[in-house]
Each structure stands twice: as C-alpha cells, then as structure tokens.
C-alpha cells in the first residue's frame, strides 16, 4: 500500500497562511490524494482531494507536485478553529472497495 | 439530513460483556465503514461494507462482528469485551463514486474495565 509521510506537528499564527506538507513517493497513477482533518473530540472531516491538478474549495487549496510524489494542503488564513490533526491519505484500492488508511497526521496549533 | 449517527456516545463495559455499537446514515450511501482510534493514534479500519448483505474485514477485525441488512444501518458487535478494545469508534459512509469524500459520525467512546 502506498504510504504518506507528514510532520508530527506544526504551528501557525492566526490570520497567516499555513502550508501542510505530505510526501507520498510510492503513489500509484490511480491513487487520489485525500486530506481530512479531525477537530478535538470529533470525527474526521473531509477537506479536499485531488488526482493531478491543483484543487481549490471553500476550505483549502491542494497543491500537487508534478511528479505526484508530494502535495501541500494550504489554509489561506488560519483561524483558531483550524486547530486540528490533518491527515494526508492515499485511497487504498485493496479488497472489494477502496478504503482510507489513516496515519498519525500533522497536529496544527494556531495561536493568536 | 442527519448524516451519520452513532449511538451511544459513551459506554463503559466490564470485561467479557457484549454490546452493539449502532451506526445509521440517511444519505443512501452504499459504502459504510467502522474505524477505531486509540489515544494519539490514527484511525484503523475494522470492517467495511459495500452494500446491504456484503461485508469485509479491515485491518483490525478480531473481536468484532458486523452485519448489513439494510442500506441505512451498519451495527458493530463486540462479543467478549477486552481492555484492548478501549477506544473511540467511528462509523463512516460514502457515495459510490470513488472520488467523493467520506462522512464520519461523531464517535462512540468505549471503555472496558
């Protein structure tokens, strides 16, 4: 299974942009890159996903390297409510249905 | 539209007891999943289902059973609770198209003593 590597933790000041990196050097051509986040005491929440091109939505932007071996989740203006664990996940096609395999993610701290 | 609903939110079990964690979704999603999350760790897949009557094992299925008699419900059964099953359990569902995101419930915090 293709794996991802993320820093354990990052810090940001409120109102500043945050770039959360993810390495996935063994990604296959059909793997989608998914990002989820988990706020304290809540279930994971879908943030964004992409295959090859950069993607934007109301929550964040996803920048995917041209060789697809790394990606970056961009929060344009961090707020205190963005403090969470962010997971970078490659969709696993094993078994009868594709599944999400979670690592330990990056814990983002946002300070005033 | 309630999304994914999990009950109960909290439960304390004694070793050897049994219980069923309930999960229901009202989005007509065919795919449903059970994960567990130990403190400070990521989520691990227990079981999943691609539709009514079809289930499959995930990464950590031992000690658990599931059934999927309807599209809406995907209960998780613990037959003989052990302290190692102390965890937070999350249920999730998703639409059929592989590119769509998953919707997670708010979790059940289970303690086995």
A108 and A86 Cβ atoms separated by less than 8 Å: yes
Q: What is the pLDDT of residue B101?
A: 81
List A residues 16-75 in contact with B (Cβ-Cβ < 8 A).
32, 34, 36, 41-46, 49, 51
Identify whether the C-beta of residue B24 lies closer than 8 Å to the C-beta of residue B108: no
* 3-state SS class at A92: strand
Residue A1 pLDDT: 59
Residue A104 distance to chain B (closest CA, Å): 5
pLDDT in tens, B76-106: 999 999 999 999 999 999 987 565 688 999 9
Residue B64 has pLDDT above 80, yes or no: yes
Contact check, Cβ <8 Å, A105/B107: no
Peptide bond into A110 cis (omega under 30): no
- Single out the residue of A40, A99, A49, A69 nearest to residue B37, CA to CA: A40
**Does residue A112 sit in helix, strand or coil?**
coil
The minimum CA-CA distance between B17 and chain A, rounded to whole Å, is: 26
Distance from CA of B43 to the nearest CA of A (A): 5
- The whole-angstrom separation of Cα B12 and Cα A36 is 29
Residue percentage of chain A with pLDDT more than 70: 92
Contact: B98, A99; criterion CB under 8 Å: no
> Residue B32: its chain A contacts at CB < 8 A?
none
Q: So what's the pLDDT on residue B98?
A: 61
pLDDT of residue A95: 58
pLDDT digits (tens, 9 = 90+) for B1-25: 679 999 999 999 999 999 999 999 9
* Inter-chain touch B90–A95, beta carbons under 8 Å: no
Residue B36 confidence (pLDDT) above 70:
yes
Using the Cα atoms of residue A83, residue A24, residue A56 and residue B3 in order, give the sign of their dihedral: negative
Tens digit of each residue's pLDDT, chain A (112 residues): 568 999 999 999 999 999 999 999 999 888 889 999 999 989 999 999 998 999 999 999 999 999 999 999 999 999 999 999 999 998 866 555 677 888 889 999 999 9
Cβ atoms of B91 and B73 within 8 Å: the answer is: no
Mutate which of B99, B105, B109 to test chain A, going by most A C-beta atoms within 10 A?
Answer: B99
* Longest Cα–Cα distance in chain B: 41
Residue in the block written with tokens 């999990």? B6
Chain B residues with at least one Cβ partner in A under 8 Å: 4, 31, 33, 35, 40-45, 48, 50, 54, 56, 58-59, 90, 92, 98-99, 101-107
């Amino acid at each position: 299974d293709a794996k991802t590597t993320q820093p354990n933790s990052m810090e940001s000041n409120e109102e500043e942009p945050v770039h959360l990196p993810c390495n996935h050097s063994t990604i296959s051509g059909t793997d989608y890159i998914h990002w989820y986040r988990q706020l304290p005491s809540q279930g994971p929440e879908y943030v964004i996903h992409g295959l090859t091109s950069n993607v934007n939505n109301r929550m964040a932007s996803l920048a995917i390297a041209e060789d697809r071996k790394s990606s970056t989740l961009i929060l344009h203006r961090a707020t205190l409510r963005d403090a969470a664990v962010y997971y970078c996940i490659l969709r696993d096609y094993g078994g009868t249905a594709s599944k999400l395999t979670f690592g330990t993610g990056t814990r983002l701290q946002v300070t005033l | 539209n309630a999304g994914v609903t999990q009950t109960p939110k909290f439960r304390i079990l004694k070793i050897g007891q049994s219980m069923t964690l309930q999960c229901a979704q009202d989005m007509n999603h065919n795919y449903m999943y059970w994960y567990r999350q130990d403190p400070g760790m990521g989520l691990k897949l227990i079981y999943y289902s691609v539709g009514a009557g079809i289930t499959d094992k995930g990464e950590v299925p031992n000690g658990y059973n599931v059934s999927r008699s309807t599209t809406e419900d995907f209960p998780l059964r613990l037959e003989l609770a052990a302290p190692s099953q102390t965890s937070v359990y999350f249920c999730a569902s998703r639409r059929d198209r592989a590119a769509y995101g998953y919707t997670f419930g708010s979790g059940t915090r289970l303690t086995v003593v």
